[in-house]
Amino acid sequence: MTDSPSVPTSRRRRGFLVFLRDVLVIVVIAALVSFVVKSFVVRSFYIPSASMERTLIVDDRILVDELTPRWTDYERGDVVVFKDPGGWLEGQPQTPARPPLVEAVDWVLNFVGISATDSQDHLVKRVIGLPGDHVVCCNALGQITINGAPIDELSYLNLPEGDTAASNEPFDVVVPEGSVWLLGDNRDRSRDSRAHQELPSGGFVPMENIVGKAFLTTWPLDRMGAIDGHHELFNGVPAAE
């Protein structure tokens, strides 16, 4: 029996280069698909503060639906992630500088949607008032009223023991067109629309600043689950005049 001729070195090298090319193409396509999904469909964020406890706690990872609200609009009760409309993040602690290599790796991970380095530049709150709504706090029972209808929020608010007031800061606002009135669930530890009424925006957040609706907690595993909008609590609110 004679030995089969060996494969020429040049052919083996060419085959290896073709393999590397195919792997690179797959990686690039996967990265581009991830980027498109992150930019237009679903995006990941982590929670940097306690303003939404108990619904969301510090370092929770959440998924945000960017696509659906573009077709269905937002509802009262939705938990939304939004970009600072100006002045909301002033005075917040800055992220310390990191080595260039760490920054580069994190940029790549953020590009494909695995990391969420810009979470510190965004905020998360609950939609209470939609355009045209007359939102007042509080009635004799400590409830917020929207267009005259009281809202019982005790099922999701994080209040001190014995406190049943939805807000210890009174307000009486009419939400302008194209904006929303947003509050945190941890009312006594949330710098939300109430705390920014002196700004030119009046504390309202333009719809265009909203990234999307938070719908799922993905990490840690023991907290994985859907994020409840408690929309049924707002069913009795009449339309804005």
**Distance between CA atoms of 88 and 80, rounded to whole angstroms?**
15
201 is known as an active-site residue: no
Tokens of 150: 């009281």
Annotation marks residue 51 as catalytic:
yes
**DSSP characters over 161-227:** TT---S-SS-EEEEPPTTEEEEE-SSGGG--SGGGGTTSTTTT-EEGGGEEEEEEEEEESGGG-EEP
Sorted by sequence, the CB contacts under 8 Å of residue 76 that are 6+ apart come out as 127, 128, 129, 130, 133, 146, 231, 234, 237
Q: Are 205 and 193 in contact (CB under 8 A)?
A: yes
Structure tokens that stand for 140 in this block: 């004799």
Task: Please identify which of the residues 44, 51, 119, 179 carries the catalytic annotation.
Answer: 51
Catalytic residue selected from 125, 179, 193, 213: 125
Distance between CA 161 and CA 152 in Å, rounded? 17
- Annotated catalytic sites, by residue? 51, 125
